[in-house]
Amino acid sequence: MLTVDELAAATGLTVRTTRYYAGLGLIPPPARRGRMAYYSAQHRARLELIRALQDHGFTLAAIEKYLARLPEDASVEDLAVQRAMLTSWKSGGHEVVTRRQLETRIGRRLDDTQVERLEAMMSIRPVEEGRYELLPAFDVGVKSLDLDIPVDSLVAAGEAINRHMDALADELTAILKDRVLAPYLVSARTEADKARFEQTMSRLRQLTLEAVVSGFQRAANQVISRSLSR
């Protein structure tokens, strides 16, 4: 059992935010012992799931709806599996910056054409007047600013990449659910099993990224070889 200070420290939240989420009903009421409130591993698991959903850009209203669909008797292990599946592949979560902060991040002034180029390459996304969300392709877009290549060709390449990556992500996720997650859910699970599963998921993400890169390199080399033979 944890006090609200201990729970906040364990989940990386402030005490104020933790109490705010409790007030919204995103976590169950704590157990009371006199004037003291105590929180369990269930509360911690729910808060960690909330943070994973926030990393995907979910609003608090959307998070409330998502949590409402979970079974009331969902165990700590069940919640951990949900979080492991939701953990963002991009570190740092969603970051929104002003135009000046964007220029500071890049290290130079940007004209409107360069900003439009970053938007076209899906490196940034305008969210409101003068503010932009940094997308996963941000670093790629910044490095492309100095390439003497027409922006439409870069956009076309980005569209091709996104089209194939969407299909690949769908197929790999289906394999993960059917052949990794399903067998895990039907087996007896202990706290140690949960920890191993989370470690496996984290390592699997890294290996998948490496496999995608090496797979593209292999395929590109085959295209070059076929072209030379012709």
CATH number at residue 48: 1.10.1660.10
User: Could you give the CA distance from residue 44 to residue 48 in angstroms, rounded to a whole number?
Assistant: 6
User: Could you give the CA distance from residue 48 to residue 78 in angstroms, rounded to a whole number?
Assistant: 12
16 shares its domain with 82: yes
Q: Give the count of domains, the chain.
A: 3
- Quote the pLDDT of residue 93: 58
172 shares its domain with 186: yes
The label of the residue with tokens 């490095």 reads 143
72 shares its domain with 116: no
Residue type present at position 189: R
3-class DSSP assignment, residue 34: coil
Pick the last residue of a domain from 86, 108, 128: 86
Q: Return the closest-CA partner of residue 197 out of 211, 176, 173.
A: 176
pTM over 0.75: no
pLDDT in tens, 139-148: 989 998 988 8
Per-residue CA distances from 203 to 58, 64, 67, 160, 216 (Å): 25, 30, 27, 27, 20
**Which structural domain, as residue segments, surrounds residue 174?**
154-229
Helices marked H in the chain: 4-11, 15-24, 41-55, 60-68, 76-86, 99-106, 112-120, 138-144, 151-176, 182-186, 191-229
- Quote the pLDDT of residue 88: 67
pLDDT in tens, 18-32: 889 988 889 888 898
Residue 90 binned pLDDT confidence (cut-offs 50, 70, 90): low
160 shares its domain with 143: no
15 shares its domain with 73: yes
50 shares its domain with 22: yes
Residue 91 binned pLDDT confidence (cut-offs 50, 70, 90): low
